[in-house]
């Protein structure tokens, strides 16, 4: 990225664009705390004065399953924090997660609600989300085939895993918030929270988890 582009990013004047059958969609590219973020694509044109880059140009030849994504969580009328997740390479679920964080296929996690808390207050506590179809947990169909790949098992807080064996909900994901080491394991882990786990734990303690919204999502370009 040239110095000129970095300057424009610093001032919020760079957008990634993608044109498909639905028209032109755009996403903000921002510089925050030394991280360069591509936010989720939205059905809107970039501002007329913005510098635009193609999404394919922004993402380049990177392995989409080996990157860092972010989810911004909000409840009670305000954004409570950002969750950074490092995805595991060679996992189709990680590639799907990137697509749903960027909105490249037309659907995304943006504006989705968290669904439930499993094992609340106990070892193995886990927060569920990912129903981009808005069916209250009955939806969130996989957008690619995520079977196969080099998944692992984990019971450690921060592990991110997907619902195995249910194609109608294969885009749903869980984030472990309390260790379950030595007692149980969650299968099909494809990522790890590297920062913001305290935000997920606070969401798990909220009086109604379904009031927690993913208000923004995207990827970190320089990680």
Which range of residues forms the domain containing residue 149?
68-220
**Which of 34, 59, 84 represents a domain boundary (last residue)?**
59
CATH number at residue 104: 2.40.100.10
Same domain? For 54 and 87 the reply is no
The predicted-structure confidence for 173-199, as pLDDT tens digits, reads as follows 999 999 987 766 888 999 999 999 999
Same domain? For 99 and 208 the reply is yes
From first to last of its 223 residues, the chain has per-residue pLDDT tens of 667 777 887 778 899 999 988 789 999 999 888 889 999 999 999 989 899 999 999 988 777 667 999 999 999 999 999 999 999 988 999 999 999 999 999 999 999 999 999 999 999 999 999 999 999 999 999 999 998 888 989 999 999 999 777 889 999 999 999 998 776 688 899 999 999 999 999 999 999 999 999 999 999 998 7
Same domain? For 154 and 177 the reply is yes
Q: How far apart are CA 62 and CA 12, in angstroms?
A: 24
**Which of 59, 82, 103 represents a domain boundary (last residue)?**
59
Task: Note the pLDDT of residue 53.
Answer: 92
Same domain? For 73 and 182 the reply is yes
Same domain? For 136 and 186 the reply is yes
Both tokens of 34, joined, read 């030394």
Same domain? For 77 and 41 the reply is no
Task: Note the pLDDT of residue 181.
Answer: 74
Task: Note the pLDDT of residue 4.
Answer: 73
Q: How many domains does the chain have?
A: 2
Both tokens of 150, joined, read 């080099």
Same domain? For 138 and 116 the reply is yes
Same domain? For 74 and 184 the reply is yes
Same domain? For 82 and 115 the reply is yes
Same domain? For 35 and 120 the reply is no
Same domain? For 175 and 150 the reply is yes
Task: Note the pLDDT of residue 184.
Answer: 64
Give the global pTM.
0.93
**Which of 59, 81, 104 represents a domain boundary (last residue)?**
59
Same domain? For 103 and 182 the reply is yes
């Amino acid at each position: 990225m040239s110095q000129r582009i970095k300057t424009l990013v610093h001032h919020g004047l760079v957008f990634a664009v993608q044109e498909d059958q639905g028209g032109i969609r755009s996403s903000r590219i921002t510089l925050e705390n030394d991280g360069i973020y591509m936010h989720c694509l939205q059905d809107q044109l970039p501002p007329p004065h913005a510098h635009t880059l193609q999404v394919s140009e922004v993402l380049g030849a990177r392995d989409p399953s080996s990157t860092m994504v972010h989810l911004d969580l909000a409840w009670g009328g305000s954004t409570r924090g950002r969750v950074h997740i490092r995805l595991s390479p060679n996992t189709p679920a990680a590639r799907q997660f990137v697509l749903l964080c960027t909105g490249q296929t037309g659907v995304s996690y943006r504006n989705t609600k968290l669904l439930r808390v499993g094992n609340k207050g106990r070892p193995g506590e886990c927060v569920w989300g990912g129903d981009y179809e808005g069916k209250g947990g009955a939806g969130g169909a996989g957008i690619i085939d995520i079977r196969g790949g080099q998944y692992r098992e984990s019971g450690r807080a921060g592990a991110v895993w997907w619902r195995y064996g249910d194609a109608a909900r294969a885009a749903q994901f869980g984030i472990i918030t309390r260790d379950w080491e030595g007692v149980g394991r969650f299968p099909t882990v494809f990522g790890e929270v590297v920062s913001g786990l305290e935000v997920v734990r606070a969401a798990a303690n909220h009086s109604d988890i379904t009031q927690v919204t993913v208000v923004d999502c995207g990827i970190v370009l320089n990680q």
